Structure 1
Amino acid sequence: MVVFFRLFSIVRTLLRYRLDLLIPRSQLPWLVRMALLPCRLFPKPKLSRGECLRQAFEDLGPIFIKFGQLLSTRPDLVPDDIILELNALQDKVPPFDSTHFRQLVEAGLGAPVDTVFKTYEQEPLASASVAQVHGAVLHNDQPVVIKIVRPGIERTIDKDVRLLNLIARLIERYSADGRRLRPVEVVEDYRNTIYDELDLQREAANASQLRRNFQDSDLLYIPEVYWDYTRNNVLVQERIYGIPVTRIEALNAQGTDMKKLAERGVEIFFTQVFEHNFFHADMHPGNIFVGTENPQLPRYIAVDMAIVGSLTREDQYYLARNLLAMFRRDYKQVAELHVQSGWVPKDTRVEQLEAAVRTVCEPIFDRPLKDISFGHVLMSLFRTARRFNMEVQPQLVLLQKTLLNIEGLGRQLYPDLDLWTTAHPFLERWLKNRFRPQALIQEFKRYGPEWLEKFPRVPEMLFKTLNQSQQFGLVGPELQQLRLELEEQHRRQRQSRRRGLIGLLALAGAVATAWPAIGSEAQNWLNSIHWTALPPASWALLALGLGALLSRR
């Protein structure tokens, strides 16, 4: 029953903002078009499609806001005008009771707050959809922050993710663009991302790794994690004091070298991506501060390391060479690198991809370098390659989103920032160092024992592979027949589920359409029912029906 009312709320919001218009009706089967007929009773809002989607997410609550924020990191799937609106989503929710917060901290740490902390602040420093933060001081007088997962958030996430998955499967099945947009994959990425954010011990481990990477650097400071007081749902970390990076007036007031600050941001990004291969992937302005110790050599301070990214060695190499080739206008090499890296199918015609890349990049590079957006060049490159069936890997999308954040922040701090002047020598140096004799020797030291261990088994592995390939040839026809039978069975199951899903959505749409007229009567009727008096068999049947509809199998 709770799931149905949540679905009804989603359908009502869809009708209010006419989100059905995001999918052309001509691409939908007639049965789905009939189910969406009630939508025409609602007027079209005087908003752009991006504004409609953003406001719909905000109305549906924090879990959908998080989903919208994830969509804003997928420029390979979502149009630019919608991404601009989704970037404006704010993840701010009212704080929950501080007494409850204290109880959760004590339950997580297994000790009273007064025993663990010398002082503890009742008022929260920040409150978001997933977690809430309070200030405190340890008994050694070290200021810290306590971050704790919002109570009951797992159930809310589980319920909404199941509904999102239901909607995604419907879109993928009935929209002509569904397969290309991969909505089920996007929801799965979202599920993994938000569940990772619930594990504060994972965030603490990410913070420790980043802190270790910049231990002796004056570029970036990462607050220390206090592991003795950190659990899966509780994180205690050093409290930092700095100027929020968006407070330009305060930075200018202390005499900050803004050009140096912007350039250091770019240097931090490329250091994380290419030297450390471990980068903070959520570097929006709310997570970045500037230290006050030395305004002429300003140092960044970063918080909230729940989302990090890394690349394979191959992706690092091909990305660096792609960027260098693009800015040299060597479009043929760009196309060849895309094929060599496996980013596009091996049978892609290089000359066609080269022509497409040239068409996109030539207008960009006719402008002065300081006016070129590095992030948008990368976005254009991925979008062009998508026409050649390139499927952008999640780690590359995270990288692109982080680069856009860093570049936008850098130009906000120093409008004349020339990203390429900072990035070019870094990439040239990194590629040269990659093939230095010392680097090759280090690689051999790292992987040599493993190679030597496997080498004696190479003949045996080769023989087994040949033997298995022969056996596979014998059973090939039987496997083909089994595959056809399974496909037919799966097709019949999909048809059955399709009718149930359309019926459920049509029912929710009908209720949502009629709600203004019957809302009060329906509410009185619901209140008059003695839900607790219903026999167990009724609840069992209801649960069975909803479970069948929401089943992923």
Structure 2
Amino acid sequence: MFSLTQTSSRQREIIEIVFSNGWDYMRGLLTGRKTDEPQIPRPEVLRKILVELGPFYVKLGQLLSTRPDLLPPNYIEALSALQANVPPVPWTLIKIVIEEQLQKPIEEIFSQIDPIPVAAGSIGQIHKATLQDGREVALKVQRPGIDKIVAQDSALIRGIAELVSLSEFGQNYDIVNLADEFTRTVKSELDFTEEGRFTEQLRQNLEKSPWFDPRDLVIPQIYWEFSNEKLLVLEWLDGTALLEADITFPKSDITPQARRKAITSLLFRAFFQQIYIDGFFHADPHPGNIFYLKDGRVALIDCGMIGRLDPRTQQLLTEMLLAVLDLDAQRCSQLTLELSDSSQPVNLVRLKNDYDSLLRKYYNLNLAEINFSEIFYAILQLARNNKIKLPGNLGLYAKSLANLEGVARKFNPDINVFEEVKPLIADLFRRQFIGDTPLPTFLRTALDFKSISLKSPRQIEVLLDRLTSESLQWNLNLNELSSVRRTMDDSANRLSFSVIVGSLIIGAAIISSGAQSQQLSLISDVLFAVASFLGLWLTISILRSGRLK
């Protein structure tokens, strides 16, 4: 637990940064005073706090930017711009790490290494090198001591999460499990072999495709004989970021505009295959991770963040895409509930009305003008507003689509996204209905129909027997019936209470009219007093409930 009574220097640093940025809610939690309704700081303030806290928290912010199911779009936009402003580690220290991991002198394996890093991040930095056999490679080297920093800050993050979990906000979002999930993700990035496996699997998946020529897309090769947990050796790809590239090179008869259209089409087809066919996709296709190579091919790099989708979720997302194109609010509502992994009751009328309001904005738009990633972000926010908990991998899915569409629109402003995805959606539905192997699919369907035809007469006979013998029982489960039952119970109780009060008044009146003695008069007065008190109590309770009308 994060405590102010026994604080380390790191805890004191966190407290000072939080205080200096004026985050009142966290200030209240850290000082133990009563807090108001939980409030996260404004997007710019949150980003500033994470940057000041250091590389580990920047990495957490970058992970949060992949969860539009948890945060509104303005926070996602602010956190997506986070870059770890980390100075590179001196070459002398990096050289020690490399030799420790290789357990050999550098000169035995590399003929040359550039001591100036190509890039430096919170977890590692990259150097260009040449193997003894002449192959150019990229060395991703882990920063010395980063594993200890991650372990220390992970414990502090969990302590803060336990504090926040005491609030209603923390319980609604299961903030402790969320913190554990993020810290596990960061710790997994410390093992470079996992990134290597992701890269290798992505490369193998995209080596064959029904939608594009795999030779046009490159995923760097991993040199496993030199790679381990803290050192990753990859094929060096000579090119520049796509948005900064001169696409007229290499020279050809294809016009620049036609080349741009071909590249955006390639990217959409490659990512639709990853998402909707393979269920294993590059979850961070921002502009810096898509390269245009000098030989005219396109490359995807930095495959450390991967999203996964199971076949059922793939099918539901395909149907959701079609429902959005049809502007079908009812179908969108049903699919959202099917995607949900929560058993909480949902107000279906409100959910459909929210979808009506969302999709109404697109009624008069041409399909070419629709921003699909914006719609999916809005769907995640709509689910959050209706307290529908969607799987975390949908956040990565929406973030990947948003990055892809953003890059495509900047690279090729004339792009028609609908025209790009329309043939892919048609092929996806064909695959879902008949699969890649129509004959086995047909035979399985025929066997299913045969099984139904054999079982149906017997099941109908059992149903008719139960109907005629009056032994048929129905087991119904109606959502939100408990609240209706409580309302009816309250109404019945008030009615009974009113009858009792009326009976007391009538009884007191009868006794009073025929009272011959002082005792009967006293009983009459007591009954009148009790009836008056109960009647007043009933009136006050009805007024306080606000349901007088």
Aligned residue for 2:130, secondary structure, equals strand
Q: After TM superposition, give the deviation of residue 370 of structure 1 in Å.
A: 2.9
**Greater Cα offset, 413-422 or 125-134:** 413-422
Q: After TM superposition, give the deviation of residue 443 of structure 1 in Å.
A: 7.6
C-alpha distance in 2 between matches for 1:135 and 1:22: 43
Indicate conservation of the 8 Å contact 2:434/2:442, yes or no: no
| Residues 286-330 of structure 1 deviation map (CA, whole Å, 9 limit, x = unaligned) | 222012324xxxx32111111111101110000100110111122
Match of 2:516 in 1: none
Q: After TM superposition, give the deviation of residue 375 of structure 1 in Å.
A: 1.0
> Structure 2: which amino acid aligns with 1:33?
K
CA distance 1:205–1:444, shift in 2 (3 Å): farther
Q: After TM superposition, give the deviation of residue 344 of structure 1 in Å.
A: 5.7
C-alpha distance in 1 between matches for 2:407 and 2:76: 17
Q: After TM superposition, give the deviation of residue 438 of structure 1 in Å.
A: 5.0
CA distance 1:427–1:22, shift in 2 (3 Å): farther
Residue of structure 2 aligned with 1:260, choices 256, 259, 262: 262
Match of 1:121 in 2: 114
Q: After TM superposition, give the deviation of residue 399 of structure 1 in Å.
A: 0.8
C-alpha distance in 2 between matches for 1:351 and 1:429: 33
C-alpha distance in 2 between matches for 1:10 and 1:107: 33
Indicate conservation of the 8 Å contact 1:344/1:389, yes or no: no
Match of 1:213 in 2: 205
Match of 1:233 in 2: 230
Match of 2:67 in 1: 74
Q: After TM superposition, give the deviation of residue 82 of structure 1 in Å.
A: 2.2
Question: Which consecutive residues of structure 1, in runs of 5 or more, have no partner in the other structure?
Answer: 37-47, 447-553
% same residue:
28
| Residues 244-283 of structure 1 deviation map (CA, whole Å, 9 limit, x = unaligned) | 12315x3367664222222322222111111222101122
C-alpha distance in 2 between matches for 1:228 and 1:333: 51
Aligned residue for 1:122, secondary structure, equals coil
Say yes or no: does 1:18 pair with 2:19: no
| Residues 193-223 of structure 1 deviation map (CA, whole Å, 9 limit, x = unaligned) | 1111111111111111111122250342001
Match of 1:62 in 2: 55
| Residues 406-441 of structure 1 deviation map (CA, whole Å, 9 limit, x = unaligned) | 011111111232222212221221121122165476
CA distance 1:252–1:364, shift in 2 (3 Å): farther
CA distance 1:346–1:428, shift in 2 (3 Å): farther
> Structure 1: which amino acid aligns with 2:275?
V
Match of 1:178 in 2: 170
Match of 2:281 in 1: 279
Match of 2:514 in 1: none
> Structure 1: which amino acid aligns with 2:183?
R
C-alpha distance in 2 between matches for 1:363 and 1:373: 12
Match of 1:404 in 2: 402
Match of 1:84 in 2: 77
> Structure 1: which amino acid aligns with 2:356?
R
Alignment of structure 1 residues 26-105 onto 2, 5 Å: 32-33=33-34, 49-105=42-98
Match of 2:540 in 1: none
Aligned residue for 1:106, secondary structure, equals helix
C-alpha distance in 2 between matches for 1:363 and 1:124: 48
C-alpha distance in 1 between matches for 2:158 and 2:264: 40
C-alpha distance in 2 between matches for 1:22 and 1:367: 44
Indicate conservation of the 8 Å contact 1:263/1:417, yes or no: no
Q: Which has the higher contact order (CA 8 A, sep 6+)?
A: 1
Aligned residue for 1:210, secondary structure, equals helix
CA distance 1:52–1:437, shift in 2 (3 Å): closer
Q: After TM superposition, give the deviation of residue 342 of structure 1 in Å.
A: 4.3
Aligned residue for 1:293, secondary structure, equals coil
Match of 1:516 in 2: none
CA distance 1:293–1:319, shift in 2 (3 Å): same
CA distance 1:29–1:247, shift in 2 (3 Å): closer
* Greater helix proportion: 1
> Structure 1: which amino acid aligns with 2:160?
I
Indicate conservation of the 8 Å contact 1:314/1:341, yes or no: no
| Residues 165-194 of structure 1 deviation map (CA, whole Å, 9 limit, x = unaligned) | 1112211213x3222343323322211211
CA distance 1:30–1:88, shift in 2 (3 Å): closer
Aligned residue for 1:136, secondary structure, equals strand
CA distance 1:344–1:355, shift in 2 (3 Å): farther
Indicate conservation of the 8 Å contact 1:22/1:49, yes or no: no
Q: After TM superposition, give the deviation of residue 231 of structure 1 in Å.
A: 0.9
C-alpha distance in 2 between matches for 1:286 and 1:2: 43
> Structure 2: which amino acid aligns with 1:95?
P
CA distance 1:35–1:398, shift in 2 (3 Å): closer
C-alpha distance in 2 between matches for 1:337 and 1:34: 38
Question: Which consecutive residues of structure 2, in runs of 5 or more, have no partner in the other structure?
Answer: 209-213, 445-549
CA distance 1:438–1:273, shift in 2 (3 Å): closer
CA distance 1:205–1:389, shift in 2 (3 Å): same
Say yes or no: does 1:251 pair with 2:251: no
Residue of structure 1 aligned with 2:131, choices 130, 135, 138: 138
TM-score normalised to structure 1 length = 0.71
CA distance 1:117–1:442, shift in 2 (3 Å): farther
C-alpha distance in 2 between matches for 1:342 and 1:79: 19
CA distance 1:406–1:2, shift in 2 (3 Å): farther
C-alpha distance in 2 between matches for 1:122 and 1:200: 21
C-alpha distance in 2 between matches for 1:417 and 1:172: 45
Indicate conservation of the 8 Å contact 2:193/2:229, yes or no: yes
C-alpha distance in 2 between matches for 1:317 and 1:258: 30
Say yes or no: does 1:196 pair with 2:193: no
> Structure 2: which amino acid aligns with 1:180?
N
C-alpha distance in 1 between matches for 2:286 and 2:441: 35
> Structure 2: which amino acid aligns with 1:258?
R
C-alpha distance in 1 between matches for 2:65 and 2:362: 23
C-alpha distance in 2 between matches for 1:2 and 1:405: 43
Indicate conservation of the 8 Å contact 2:61/2:79, yes or no: yes
Q: After TM superposition, give the deviation of residue 50 of structure 1 in Å.
A: 1.4
Aligned residue for 2:34, secondary structure, equals helix
Q: After TM superposition, give the deviation of residue 368 of structure 1 in Å.
A: 2.8
Say yes or no: does 1:336 pair with 2:337: no
C-alpha distance in 2 between matches for 1:420 and 1:179: 40
Match of 1:111 in 2: 104
Q: After TM superposition, give the deviation of residue 351 of structure 1 in Å.
A: 4.4
Aligned residue for 2:202, secondary structure, equals helix
CA distance 1:195–1:365, shift in 2 (3 Å): farther
Aligned residue for 1:173, secondary structure, equals coil
CA distance 1:445–1:391, shift in 2 (3 Å): farther
Alignment of structure 1 residues 374-413 onto 2, 5 Å: 374-413=372-411
